[in-house]
């Protein structure tokens, strides 16, 4: 018994007319057209190149935001400090029900923000009596004492200001914390903190994980992105700086972040990625999915594409 003809899967053997076709000529013309188009667009519009920011430019432009962020790295209240996998075990990894692949895979890029972003960089500084004393006091204290200092500093940090190259907060029983925060801010403003974080693994480095995570914890970085329409709420994933076209092909991925339940979920990234993986599988497997593979036959757009063929029938 012969297999039943399925118009969504099968094609009859073509016995019609053939026309001359010069594939090399077509390719050559297409190459010339694309080159002219790209040259025209490049000459007319160029391309954006907003300079990368550094911890130095940030701490000079907004020292209070930098110092506030530095304190959040020390007391463990920053986003990175409580991130979870792959950086640490302090946060709840994104999940859907019991499905939590980030948690299953664990910590692969260990980050202790207090040590990596504050204490270790300060220890790399040239000997300074006040700073050496503050670090010795910090490292010699119990965790309970450190917590008490951090709480005291936190209570007055809302009145933080920057004056005379120093971070100023009202006096409190905060031990060495003010010296550490001021020293780290001065270190950042000199450019030494960028160097310390970038070269923490050695002289040759191409890994900017630490300085980028530090930058991402402050509000200055996001404020620059907001001006460039790059925030997630501004469909930023498909935008480019200076209003240039960006990754427009990510429109569907970006779309989900704008709508419920994704825009209110603590696991939005995991849910959107999961959904996009399913939709991607559907795209790849269209030929096998009854109903979906019939859509072309139902919408009949093919009649426009092959109009000459159908006119000749």
Partner 1 sequence: MSTTIDRQWTTRLRKRVEGTLPPEKLLPDTQPAYVASWIYVFGVLTLVAMAEVIGTGVILAIFGPQWWHVSGVGHFINSMHLWGVEVFFFAMIVHLWGKFAMAAWRGGRTLTWITGAVTFLASILTAFTGYLSQTNFDSQWISTQAKDGINSTGGGAFFNVLNFGQMLMWHIVLMPIIAVALVAFHVILVRIKGVVPPIVENPEVGQ
Give 66 or 153: the residue with its C-beta nearer to partner 1: 66
Tell me the closest approach of the beta carbon of residue 224 to partner 1, in angstroms.
7
Give 35 or 61: the residue with its C-beta nearer to partner 1: 35
Query: Residue 91 and residue 293: Cα distance in Å, rounded?
Result: 43
Give 28 or 133: the residue with its C-beta nearer to partner 1: 28
Give 137 or 191: the residue with its C-beta nearer to partner 1: 191
The angle at the Cα of 65, spanning 170 to 151, to the nearest 5 degrees, equals 45
Structure tokens at 310: 């159908």
Give 127 or 283: the residue with its C-beta nearer to partner 1: 283
Report whether 138 contacts 178 (CB < 8 A).
Answer: no
Q: In terms of residues, how long is the chain?
A: 313
Tell me the closest approach of the beta carbon of residue 140 to partner 1, in angstroms.
33
Tell me the closest approach of the beta carbon of residue 217 to partner 1, in angstroms.
10
Tell me the closest approach of the beta carbon of residue 244 to partner 1, in angstroms.
8
Tell me the closest approach of the beta carbon of residue 166 to partner 1, in angstroms.
28
Report whether 125 contacts 131 (CB < 8 A).
Answer: yes
Give 135 or 215: the residue with its C-beta nearer to partner 1: 215
Give 71 or 83: the residue with its C-beta nearer to partner 1: 83
Q: What is the DSSP string of 75-129?
A: HT-STTTT--TTT-SSSPPP-BTTB-HHHHH--SS---HIIIIIIHHHHTSPP-H
- Find the farthest-apart pair of alpha carbons in the chain and give their distance in angstroms, rounded: 94
Give 27 or 170: the residue with its C-beta nearer to partner 1: 27
Query: Residue 244 and residue 154: Cα distance in Å, rounded?
Result: 42
Tell me the closest approach of the beta carbon of residue 277 to partner 1, in angstroms.
8
Report whether 231 contacts 224 (CB < 8 A).
Answer: no
Report whether 113 contacts 78 (CB < 8 A).
Answer: yes
Query: Residue 142 and residue 303: Cα distance in Å, rounded?
Result: 78
How many alpha carbons fall within 13 Å on the CB side of residue 27?
3
Three-state DSSP state, 240: coil
Tell me the closest approach of the beta carbon of residue 3 to partner 1, in angstroms.
13
Report whether 121 contacts 214 (CB < 8 A).
Answer: no
Tell me the closest approach of the beta carbon of residue 305 to partner 1, in angstroms.
5
Tell me the closest approach of the beta carbon of residue 259 to partner 1, in angstroms.
16
Give 136 or 252: the residue with its C-beta nearer to partner 1: 252
Query: Residue 152 and residue 288: Cα distance in Å, rounded?
Result: 64
């Amino acid at each position: 018994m012969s297999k039943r003809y399925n118009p969504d899967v099968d094609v009859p053997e073509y016995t019609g007319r053939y026309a001359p076709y010069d594939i090399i000529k077509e390719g050559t013309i297409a190459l010339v057209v694309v080159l002219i188009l790209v040259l025209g667009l490049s000459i007319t519009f160029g391309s954006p190149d907003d300079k990368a920011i550094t911890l130095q430019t940030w701490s000079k432009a907004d020292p209070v935001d930098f110092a506030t962020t530095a304190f959040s790295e020390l007391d463990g209240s920053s986003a990175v400090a409580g991130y979870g996998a792959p950086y640490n075990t302090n946060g709840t990894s994104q999940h859907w029900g019991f499905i939590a692949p980030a948690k299953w895979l664990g910590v692969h890029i260990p980050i202790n923000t207090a040590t990596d972003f504050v204490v270790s960089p300060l220890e790399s500084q040239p000997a300074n009596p006040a700073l050496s004393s503050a670090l010795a006091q910090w490292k010699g204290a119990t965790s309970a004492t450190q917590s008490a200092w951090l709480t005291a500093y936190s209570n007055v940090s809302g009145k933080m200001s920057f004056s005379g190259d120093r971070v100023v907060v009202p006096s409190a029983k905060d031990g060495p914390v003010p010296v550490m925060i001021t020293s780290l801010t001065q270190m950042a403003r000199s450019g030494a903190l960028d160097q310390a974080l970038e070269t923490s693994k050695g002289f040759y480095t191409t890994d900017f994980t630490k300085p980028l995570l530090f930058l991402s914890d402050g509000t200055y970085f996001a404020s620059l992105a907001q001006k460039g329409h790059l925030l997630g709420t501004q469909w930023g994933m498909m935008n480019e700086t200076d209003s240039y076209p960006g990754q427009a092909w990510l429109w569907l991925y970006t779309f989900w972040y704008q709508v419920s339940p994704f825009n209110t979920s603590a696991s939005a990234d995991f849910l959107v990625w999961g959904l996009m993986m399913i939709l991607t599988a559907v795209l790849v497997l269209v030929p096998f999915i009854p109903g979906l593979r019939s859509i072309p036959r139902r919408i009949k757009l093919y009649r426009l594409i092959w109009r000459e063929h159908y006119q000749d029938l």
